[in-house]
Homo-oligomer: A and B are copies of this chain.
């Protein structure tokens, strides 16, 4: 892809108009773009309002699986931003949809290493989820003649970011994948780190997914970015050619790669995990079309 080879352009008054005019929908990542933890990034609210007033469609594509679409809509509202549930494409939703489009049997269960959001999306899709936050306090007993039991009807293990990761869950998921015939291993995403709080990055789903790869010696199916699995659902709703979409994100290996894989224009913001040094490093092979400090630059460079 040519876009991957040309160095990213700094977004400026010179080049922003052609981007803006050619784009009908802006796809935003959330962590490090819209907010950090529970803190809105400066100027985001005004920028989103202004984009809507100019007729642009807004879509939110997040790899963070801790919440469901409904819960994300509530989070947006609590931060003063009006977003509809079906404008949100979270990796928790993607995991449930992956099972649905692959005709995963309703009578099989799904073991979850991750947050409430995955369990909620599974339930909305008609599936029975096990594990999740509930197993966060469980302890293992490593003693003789005391087998660790797991449910033989689990047909898929979904792994996402899990701040309550423990040995119980690792053993449960590992036994399902290794011993239940045909059991699927699905990763919501593989982000190394993410802005779980405003001040710091924390281990992302990439850490929990790798832990499960380490014990199972298997590779997962990834449904979140940079996989374009979610794009089909997005196209069903918006009917906009991907060349008229612009993916705005803070991660090169997920957001920007997702945008490029899908044929979108791409804009990197430096308000999250990626620095300009990383972007310019010779070892980095992912170049967005444009980069800028933060989302509000769209408004400042173009707005009234």
Contact = CB atoms under 8 A, between A and B. Distances in A.
Interface of A: 37-39, 140, 142-148, 162-167, 170-171, 174-175, 190, 192-193, 196-200, 202-204, 206-217
16 contacts: A37-B142, A39-B144, A144-B199, A145-B198, A147-B199, A148-B200, A167-B203, A174-B193, A174-B207, A175-B200, A193-B215, A203-B211, A204-B214, A207-B211, A210-B210, A210-B214
B145 A199 contact: yes
A140 B145 CA distance: 34
Q: How many copies does the complex hold?
A: 2
Contact of A170 (B170, B197, B207): B207
Contact of A37 (B144, B211, B214): B144
A304 to B, nearest CB: 31
Given A142-B202, A144-B37, A166-B166, A214 B192 contact: yes
A74 to B, nearest CB: 17
A138 to B, nearest CB: 12
B214 A142 contact: no
A38 B141 CA distance: 13
Contacts of A144: 37-39, 197-199
A167 B164 contact: yes
A203 B174 CA distance: 7
A165 to B, nearest CB: 6
Nearest to A171: B202
A18 B274 CA distance: 61
Contacts of A207: 170, 174, 211-212, 214-215
A214 B198 CA distance: 21
Considering residues A145, A147, A190, A192, which has the most beta carbons from chain B within 10 angstroms of its beta carbon?
A192
